Amino acid sequence: MMKQKVMMTAWALFRDLKNKYSSFADALRAAWAKIKLLRKLNEGKVKFFFTKKSGERREAVGTSLQLANYKRKTNTGKTKPISMITYWDTEKEAVRSFHIWQLTV
């Protein structure tokens, strides 16, 4: 089941973001990174790093929105891009998000 989700994510990333991923292998690596991070977020607090839009490297400690008991205030009907990772920032007590290509290992 997880391999199917990874492959579907990788194909969507490769199809929709050809300017970010030059090969399917790059999109597949990004999909695996996303799935692994989401799994860890669902298990509890996770420390990870990503690059902000300004180019600054940011350390984040977060968990999944479900574990934080976050209830969305409004439903705008918008769907987030498949490249987006949304998490609960446990240090700032707020919802944060970033794109998968900003994740640093």
pTM of the predicted model as reported, rounded to 2 decimal places: 0.84
Domain residue spans of the chain: 2-72+79-104
Task: List pLDDT tens digits, range 75-97.
Answer: 766 778 889 999 999 999 999 99
Structure tokens at 100: 């998968």
Q: How far apart are the first and last CA of the chain?
A: 25
Structure tokens at 7: 């492959």
Task: List pLDDT tens digits, range 10-57.
Answer: 989 898 888 888 899 999 999 999 999 999 999 999 999 999 989 999
C-alpha to C-alpha distances, 55 to 24, 70, 102, nearest whole angstrom: 25, 29, 9
